C-alpha cells in the first residue's frame, strides 16, 4: 500500500488558481508537501495575482499561460509541458466561467453568445485540455489522471443558472473522456465539492443560503471556510489508489448529497450511540466565516 499512497517525485499541472483561498491552490500545496513537482496555469489580468500566491506555496511554482478559449493556447501549454517533463502524472481542471446574466434568474433570458462561451470555458475545456495532454498522461507509469471539480449537479441549485447546466455537462464530458482515454491507461474523474468560499462562489447570490444548508445538515458536518475538506478526494483520484477508478464523481461534501436537507435526524433515529460520540470534531455544525470573500 505504501507505493500506492506515495506521490513523491510525480509531476502535476494545476489549473484554476486565483488566490490562496482557491481549492486548486490547496491541492497544489498538498501535492508539494507530498514531494511532487507542480506547475500552475493562469491567464490575463488575474495571472499577476496567481503568480503572487504561487510564491506562497511550500515551494514557489511557475505559472504558465493558459487561455481555454484559444486552441493555440491549449496546444502551446501541452508543448511546454512536453519540453519540460516529457510526461505528466496528472492534471487538475478547476476552470469555470459564466457571464453574470447567465446566473440565477438569468437562465431564462441570457443571450446565446454568452451562454455558449460559458459552456466552452466550463465544460468543453475539460475535454480540450485533457486530450491535448493525453499523450503525456499516457506515458506516466501506471497511467495518468485527469481530475475536474464540479458540484452536486443531480438537482437544480437555486442561483446557479447556466453554471448548473455546465456542471451537468462536465460530468457527461468526464464519462466520455473516461471511455475514450481508458484504453491509453488514462483515468478521468470528478470531485463534487460542497460550497467553499472562493472568488467564483461570490458570483452566486444564493451561496450563503446553500452553505447554511450544508453546515446545518451534512452528516459529517461542513465548513464553507475550509477548502482543505475537498483536497483529500482530489489526491485520492490523482494517486495510484484510484488506478482502477474512472468515469466517477466522488462527493466531498460531508455527505450532503445523500440526505434531504432541512429535516434533522433525532437521536432516536440513530444507532443508540450518544450524540456526543457520533458528532464530528467541533460539533455537527461547523463554524462559519463570512459569505463569499474568495
Q: Which long-range contacts (CB under 8 A, 24 or more apart) does 96-102 make?
A: 96/16, 96/121, 96/122, 96/149, 96/163, 96/166, 96/167, 96/200, 97/121, 97/122, 98/122, 98/161, 98/162, 98/163, 98/166, 98/203, 100/203, 102/161, 102/162, 102/163
Answer whether 174's CB lies under 8 Å from 122's CB.
no
Q: Which residues are catalytic?
A: 160, 167
- How far apart (Å, rounded) are the C-alpha atoms in residues 108 and 207? 20
Q: Which of 40, 64, 74, 66 is nearest to 54 (CA)?
A: 40
What is the strand order of the sheet 90-93 is part of?
63-65, 37-42, 11-14, 90-93, 145-150, 187-193, 249-252
Residue located via cell numbers 494517486: 239
DSSP character string of 55-93: TTSSS---EEE--TT-HHHHHHHHHHHHHHTSS-SEEEE
Amino acid at each position: 500500500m505504501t507505493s500506492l499512497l506515495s506521490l513523491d517525485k510525480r509531476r502535476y499541472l494545476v489549473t484554476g488558481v486565483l488566490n490562496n483561498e482557491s481549492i486548486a491552490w490547496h491541492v497544489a500545496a498538498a501535492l508539494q508537501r507530498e514531494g511532487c513537482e507542480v506547475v500552475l496555469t493562469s491567464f490575463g489580468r488575474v495571472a499577476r495575482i496567481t503568480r503572487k500566491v504561487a510564491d506562497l506555496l511550500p515551494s514557489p511554482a511557475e505559472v504558465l499561460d493558459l487561455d481555454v478559449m484559444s486552441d493555440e493556447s491549449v496546444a502551446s501549454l501541452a508543448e511546454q509541458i512536453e519540453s519540460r517533463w516529457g510526461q505528466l502524472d496528472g492534471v487538475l481542471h478547476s476552470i469555470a466561467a459564466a457571464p453574470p446574466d447567465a446566473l440565477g434568474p438569468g437562465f431564462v433570458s441570457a443571450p446565446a453568445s454568452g451562454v455558449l462561451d460559458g459552456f466552452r470555458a466550463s465544460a468543453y475545456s475539460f475535454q480540450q485540455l485533457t486530450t491535448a495532454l493525453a499523450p503525456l498522461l499516457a506515458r506516466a507509469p501506471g497511467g495518468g489522471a485527469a481530475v475536474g471539480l464540479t458540484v452536486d449537479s443531480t438537482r437544480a441549485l437555486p442561483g446557479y443558472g447556466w453554471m448548473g447546466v455546465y456542471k451537468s455537462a462536465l460530468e457527461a464530458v468526464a464519462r466520455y473522456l473516461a471511455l475514450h482515454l481508458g484504453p491509453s491507461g488514462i483515468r478521468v474523474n470528478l470531485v463534487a465539492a460542497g460550497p467553499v468560499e472562493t472568488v467564483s462562489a461570490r458570483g452566486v447570490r444564493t451561496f450563503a443560503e446553500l452553505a447554511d444548508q450544508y453546515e446545518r445538515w451534512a452528516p459529517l458536518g461542513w465548513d464553507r471556510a475550509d477548502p482543505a475538506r475537498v483536497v483529500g478526494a482530489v489526491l485520492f483520484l490523482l494517486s495510484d489508489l484510484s488506478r482502477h477508478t474512472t468515469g466517477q464523481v466522488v462527493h466531498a461534501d460531508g455527505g450532503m448529497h445523500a440526505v434531504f436537507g432541512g429535516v434533522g435526524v433525532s437521536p432516536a433515529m440513530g444507532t443508540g450511540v450518544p450524540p456526543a460520540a457520533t458528532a464530528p470534531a467541533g460539533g455537527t455544525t461547523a463554524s462559519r466565516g463570512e459569505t463569499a470573500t474568495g
